[in-house]
Structure 1
Amino acid sequence: MNSKIGRINPTVKAAIHQLVIIIFVVIWLIPIYAMVINGLKSNVAVYTTPVLVPSSSPTIEPFQAVWSSLSRPLLNSLILVLPVAFIATFLGSMAAYFFYMLSNSFSKVSSFVSNFLFSLISLATFIPYQATLIPLTKLIADMGLLNTYWGLAFAFFIFYMPTGALLMSIFITAIPPRIIEAARLDRGSDWRIFSRLVFPLSLPGFISTLIFNIIETWNNFFIPLMLTTTPDMRLIPVTVQSFTGGYATLYNETFAAAFIASMVPLGIFIFLGRYFIRGLIALGTGGKGV
């Protein structure tokens, strides 16, 4: 059977590969297509036409109607999510390097401490944040940070710095240990080794983790719902949900709002997608965590 596959014309094999890729791309684009064409319909047309059929008389009025409500939350999310995700991922990278060095030290105590602390971080990563919202909200309120950028940033750091450390530990261990050992023999400081050697070599993994943190933070609904009390401080997921009313829903505006809300993470993923793939390739070279 394998010999028959090997004798397939290379042109045919390439065509099959391209066809498979096109099919997956089409499937991936269906939700975006549905949001766009239904956002260009009237509310009556959304009810009366199939979801994947374009309107015979498209209109941009739903997008115009939702933009006034989304512009401020969109700005809030941009101000908060991008720097928070970057800092959380960078600090997580430093933590992953720290645990990697402890686990590879000659001291059994250091190795035990590293494994124990890293296990706690891993456990914290998989705890559903919905289960901690009440104590988290009380903590933020006691700190006087409720309904502020700082309170939201602090809450996001709590959840996504451990995620950055966990994911980056996988990528950092894909770096050959002899390179780090050589740098330590040259008496390089930990910060110098990390900033000049480890971080550049793990950059594809860093970008993959950053993309993951951006998307997770951008789409987080419960944390901004609990920690913001005024419309001026709302983030984009809470505002999009508000278009679904208790008694009636304007589905065309809901589709338009969902598309606008997804443009930033979608654009980031498309722009940095090649680095994301490089990070996955680096992941497959043998990194197994600390």
Structure 2
Amino acid sequence: MNNKYITRVIKYAILQLIAVMFVILWLFPLYAMIVGGFKSNMEAASAPILLLPRQFSTEAYYFDWFGFGTLVGLEFPMIRQLLITIPVTLASVILGSMGAYFFYMQMERRPWISNVGFSIISLATYLPAQTLTVPLIELTSSLGIYQTYWGLAFAYFIFYLPMSALLMSIFLPVVPNYLVESARLDGARDWSIFWHVIFPLVLPGFLSTLIFVFLMVWQDFFTPLIIATKPSLYMLPVAARQYVGGYAILYNRSFAAGVITSLVPLIIFAFLGRYFIRGLAALGGGAKGI
């Protein structure tokens, strides 16, 4: 008995040690960026990256946030990023959930529609964005929304609506079929079934998808690079690129820009990460019963 207990303790200690090592490895780049942003450019370029600065300075963060000369500060790109990312993410995940529910229902009624629909969704999700550069520019130009916030939101929507539907389709089979059939026998229509039966049960999956899509939109560099190229329309990833110079790299300002662009994802993981894990756990628990 004692030997089994000791063995379990040793295994638990090893697992905890491995977890701590992974956390440390993950925190190293973040630590280096934060510390590097407080150094002078000379010290950031020459001193060991993990050493604390000899003299802390907020000049790099101030410079990046407010800008200087022709360099656009990150203050307004951050605001634009939030104002566009939040509604686009909500709309994509909500409509994607409805689309996934539609195809899930068609699996029983018309399987070929569901199979074709999911094939198209998968193709749209995994198709490289670079292959759509010219069609996307021509489409937004013909609609009169190229180089506008509406055009950027439209492009995000095109890319992330199929992804949302594909992710939500993974969670929907967790819902027992008898609940849907019971609701139909009670006279409920698909709209009521989705919102009152399906949605409460897949809420953890919805939150996981919402967090994932938000982070994907937040870090998307390619889409705003081709749709919103004017400095007055710069989104955060594009604006942060300015601080990696064409002729010389300002290391401390590059580090500071990396920290600023990472603030929102870090906050999300700190406060909402448990909901993401719950969604994955709910998927695993439901999948065992199918």
Using the size of structure 1 for normalisation, the TM-score is 0.92
Q: How far does residue 243 in structure 1 lie from its aligned partner after superposition?
A: 1.1
Indicate the residue corresponding to 2:262 in structure 1: 262
Partner of 1:248: 248
2:97 maps to 1:96 = no
- Verify the 8 A CA contact 1:70 1:239 in the aligned structure 2: yes
Q: What RMSD, in angstroms, separates the aligned Cα atoms of the two structures?
A: 1.8
- Give CA-to-partner distance per residue, 1:163-182, whole Å, 9 cap, x none: 00000000111111111121
Pairs within 5 Å for 1:1-290:
6-8=4-6, 12-68=10-66, 69-105=73-109, 110-285=110-285, 287=287
* Between 263-272 and 60-69, the greater mean CA deviation after superposition: 263-272
| Deviation for aligned residue 1:10 | 5.3
Structure 2 vs 1, CA of residues 95 and 14 (structure 1 numbering), >3 Å: closer, same or farther? same
Single out whichever of 121-130 and 4-13 deviates more from structure 2: 4-13
- CA positional deviation for 1:7: 3.6
| Cα distance change, pair 22–157 in 1 and its aligned pair in 2 (3 A) | same
Segment drifting more, 278-287 vs 151-160: 278-287
Identity across matched positions, percent: 48
Structure 2 segments unaligned to the other structure (5+ residues) = 67-72
Q: Is the 8 A contact 2:99 2:165 kept in 1?
A: yes
Deviations 1:170-209 (A, max 9, x none): 0111111111121112111111111112111111111111
SS of 2:57's partner is coil
Contact 1:72 1:232 in 2 (8 A): no
2: CA distance between counterparts of 1:287 and 1:125? 23
1:125-170 C-alpha deviation (Å, 9 max, x unpaired) = 1100111011101111111101211111110111100000000000
Q: Distance in 1 between matches of 2:4 and 2:155?
A: 54
Work out the number of aligned pairs and report it: 282
In 2, Cα distance between equivalents of 1:71 and 1:87: 25
Q: Deviations over 1:239-267 (max 9, x none)?
A: 11111111111110011011101111221
Distance (Å, rounded) in 1 between the aligned partners of 2:287 and 2:149: 36
